[in-house]
């Protein structure tokens, strides 16, 4: 006998909140999302799955970075083509949100993007609307690649009927915050970019001074150690190797570590931006002369 949606939904809640031994549809059971490696279950995987199947989506996060948008860029492109609409609310809290991330998100015609500038908003919630229920992912993950993929996070994913009290409260809270948010326009991004860059320069200066004062040793992380070993093997007698690494894994430092080991007479670094050039000059090439060539390219899209 086919169970009704109501029976399936109710039984899932009983399993999740009352008795784990009860059998029910896993689709509606509550879940803790923590970016576990075994089994390989990331927050990002769950969010992409929700975005691909929902009717509408609402996101409220304190911080959004370019790397975070990059992890979802293909999904957002797909949603735009399908006409699935969403609202995204971010915060200017601590001026951590990256202007470039706002630029990328603002290009989607199906997304209403706003930013809270007058309150220290620190929320992290992802809301997905379906015909008869909502899925809510609320916890610690901001819209950054590390928070969605690698950091140890605690996020609760729960399902609730449209008529439930929790859905009513969450949607109302989101709408109240969204109303006071400033619409993200080109003019706003230009203003904010000036503030962000000034703060970034001050931070980098203080960071470099502290490192110099403490004579801090910079060492490879676990990914970089493995990559350096593989690069050494791949080069062999040909002195040639190629590595592909995901956003946020430390490619710039990896390249610097490898270049220092290889110790070339000349080094050409080609990048799409100059954001992390200081990592090479400040920490790895103090005893060498170097030059930088800039080429301004026309922005053609994402």
Structure tokens at 176: 């109240």
Check residue 151 and give its pLDDT. 92
Among 184, 207, 235, the domain-final residue is: 184
pLDDT at 249: 72
pLDDT, one tens digit per residue, over 180-224 is 999 999 999 999 999 999 988 887 777 667 666 665 667 787 778
- In the block, which residue shows the tokens 């080609």? 270
Please check the confidence at residue 59 and state whether its pLDDT lies above 60: yes
Task: Report the pLDDT averaged over residues 143-163.
Answer: 95
Q: Which residue has the higher pLDDT, 254 or 62?
A: 62
Contacts of 84 (CB under 8 A, 6+ apart): 51, 54, 55, 56, 57, 110
pLDDT at residue 110 is higher than 70: yes
Residues 246, 160: one domain?
no
Which strands sit side by side in the sheet containing 31-33, from one edge to the other?
Answer: 31-33, 155-161, 133-139, 124-129, 56-61, 85-91, 111-116, 182-183
The packing angle between helices 66-82 and 99-106, to 10°, is 10
Domain boundary among 131, 164, 184: 184
The whole-number average pLDDT for the span 72-92 is 97
86, 55 Cβ separation under 8 angstroms: no
pLDDT greater than 70 at residue 258: yes
Domain count, the chain: 2
The answer to the question of residue 167 being in a domain is: yes
In a domain, 63, yes or no: yes
Mean pLDDT of the region 290-298: 52
Q: Is residue 236 part of a domain?
A: yes
30 or 280, which is more confident? 30
Over residues 36-64, the mean pLDDT reads 91
- Asked whether residue 301 is assigned to any structural domain, the reply reads yes
Confidence (pLDDT) at 202: 81
CA atoms within 13 A on the CB side of 300: 4
Instruction: Give the residue carrying structure tokens 């031994």.
Output: 21
Q: In this predicted structure, which of 90-99, 150-159, 191-200, 203-212 has the lowest mean pLDDT?
A: 203-212
Instruction: Please state the φ and ψ torsions of residue 69, each to the nearest 5 degrees.
Output: -65, -40
pLDDT at 3 over 90: no
pLDDT digit string (tens) for 227-240? 888 888 888 767 77
Centre a 10 Å sphere on the Cβ of residue 285 and count the other Cβ atoms it contains: 15
Range of the domain at 223: 217-302
Chain mean pLDDT for the chain:
86
Give the pLDDT score at 13.
94
Same domain (yes/no): 166, 45: yes
**Same domain as 289, residue 240:** yes
CB atoms inside a 10 Å sphere around CB 176 = 9
Residues 102 and 229 in one domain: no
Shared domain for 114 and 245, answered yes or no, is: no
pLDDT surpassing 70 at residue 251: yes
In this prediction, residue 274 carries a pLDDT of 45
- Output the CA–CA distances (angstroms, integers) from residue 55 to 27, 82, 158, in the order listed: 16, 10, 17
Please write down the HEC assignment for all residues of the chain. CCCCHHHHHHHHHHHHHCCCCCCCCHHHCCEEECCECCCCECHHHHHHHHHHHCCEEEEEECCECHHHHHHHHHHHHHHHHHCCEEEEEEECHHHCCCHHHHHHHHCCCCEEEEEECCCCCCCEEEEEECCCEEEEEEECCCECHHHHHCCCCCEEEEEEECCCHHHHHHHHHHHHHHHHCEECCHHHHHHHHHHHHHHHHHHHHHHHHHHHHHCCCCCCCHHHHHHHHHHHHHHCCCCCCCCCCCCCCCHHHHHHHHHHHHCCCCCCCCCCCCCCHHHHHHHCCCCCCCCCCCCCCCCCCC
Look at strands 31-33 and 133-139 and give their pairing. Answer: unpaired
Q: Rounded to whole angstroms, how far apart are CA atoms 74 and 4?
A: 35
One domain, residues 46 and 164 = yes
């Amino acid at each position: 006998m086919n169970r009704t949606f109501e029976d399936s939904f109710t039984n899932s809640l009983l399993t999740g909140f009352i008795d784990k031994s009860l059998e029910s549809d896993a689709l509606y059971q509550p879940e803790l999302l923590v970016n576990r490696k075994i089994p390989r279950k990331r927050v990002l995987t769950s969010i992409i799955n929700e975005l691909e199947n929902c009717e509408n989506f609402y996101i409220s996060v304190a911080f959004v970075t370019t790397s975070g948008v990059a992890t979802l860029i293909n999904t957002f492109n797909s949603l735009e083509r399908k006409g699935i609409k969403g609202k995204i609310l971010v915060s200017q809290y601590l001026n951590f949100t990256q202007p470039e991330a706002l630029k990328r998100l603002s290009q989607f015609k199906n997304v209403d993007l706003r930013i809270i500038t007058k309150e220290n908003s620190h929320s992290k919630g992802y809301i997905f609307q379906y015909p008869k229920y909502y899925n809510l992912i609320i916890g610690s993950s901001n819209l950054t690649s590390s928070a969605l993929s690698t950091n140890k996070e605690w996020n609760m994913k729960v399902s609730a009927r449209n008529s439930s009290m929790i859905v009513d409260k969450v949607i109302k809270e989101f709408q109240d915050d969204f109303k006071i948010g400033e619409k993200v326009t080109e003019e706003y991004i230009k203003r904010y970019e000036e503030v962000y860059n000034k703060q970034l320069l001050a931070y980098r200066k203080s960071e470099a001074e502290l490192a110099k004062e403490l004579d801090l040793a910079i060492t490879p992380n676990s990914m970089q150690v493995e990559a350096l070993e593989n690069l050494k093997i791949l080069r062999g007698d040909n002195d040639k190797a190629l590595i592909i690494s995901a956003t946020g894994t430390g490619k710039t430092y990896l390249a610097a570590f490898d270049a220092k080991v290889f110790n070339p007479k000349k080094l050409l670094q080609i990048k799409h931006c100059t954001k992390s050039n200081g990592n090479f000059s400040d920490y790895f090439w103090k005893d060498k002369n170097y030059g930088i060539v800039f080429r301004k390219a026309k922005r053609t899209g994402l």
